[in-house]
Amino acid sequence: MESAFIHTPLGIAKLEGDEMGLASVTLWDEEIKTTTPIPEVLEDAVYQLQEYFNDQRQVFSLTLNPEGTDFQKRVWSELLKVPYGKTISYLELSQKLGDVKAVRAVAAANGKNPLWIIVPCHRVIGSDGSLTGYAGGLHRKKWLLNHESPAKQQSLF
């Protein structure tokens, strides 16, 4: 498994993967030296993430190989269908998976997503429109949703 650390507007991202695909993208709060050169198996993922942050990419085209249970992988696969700039509630997501009673299990699987941004778990919100739970912190979830919004909000302060 190869790894690389890159700067993003939200902190340092660690990418891990091999010839089977990208296994994880996680965010680190501490300052870590970026990786140079980037391992060949991660070059495309790094390039696509840079495009995303530069408003040049809305859909990722990568081979993914995350570790998880079959249920988690079903949830993550459904998350990939949530379009850029759109959100879905945990209830809607569980309905799409065919079990409205699985809301808590869906939320737990969402929280275990190892592919930050690539599998857009930040696009899942509460049924009332609230920003609920995000492993990377609600400030990052808010930033990502604003980044993807067609009408970006300006900060007054």
Question: What digits encode the pLDDT tens for the residues 88-145?
Answer: 999 999 999 999 899 999 999 999 999 999 999 999 998 888 888 777 778 899 999 9
Calpha distance 64→113 (Å, rounded): 12
Respond yes or no: is residue 144 known to be catalytic: no
Q: Which CATH number fits domain 70-148: 1.20.120.1200, 1.10.10.10, 1.20.1580.10, 3.30.413.10?
A: 1.10.10.10
124 HSE (CA, 13 A, CB side): 29
| Per-residue model confidence as pLDDT tens digits over 34-52 | 888 999 999 999 999 999 9
pLDDT for res 157: 47
Domain boundaries of the chain, sorted by first residue: 2-53, 70-148
- pTM reported for the whole predicted model: 0.89
Classify the C-alpha dihedral 66-45-80-28 as positive or negative: positive
Distances from the Cα of 125 to the Cαs of 44, 62, 128, in angstroms?
A: 29, 25, 8
- For residue 34, give the 3-state DSSP assignment: coil
Catalytic-labelled residue, pool 121, 125, 144, 145:
121
CA distance 103 to 90: 6
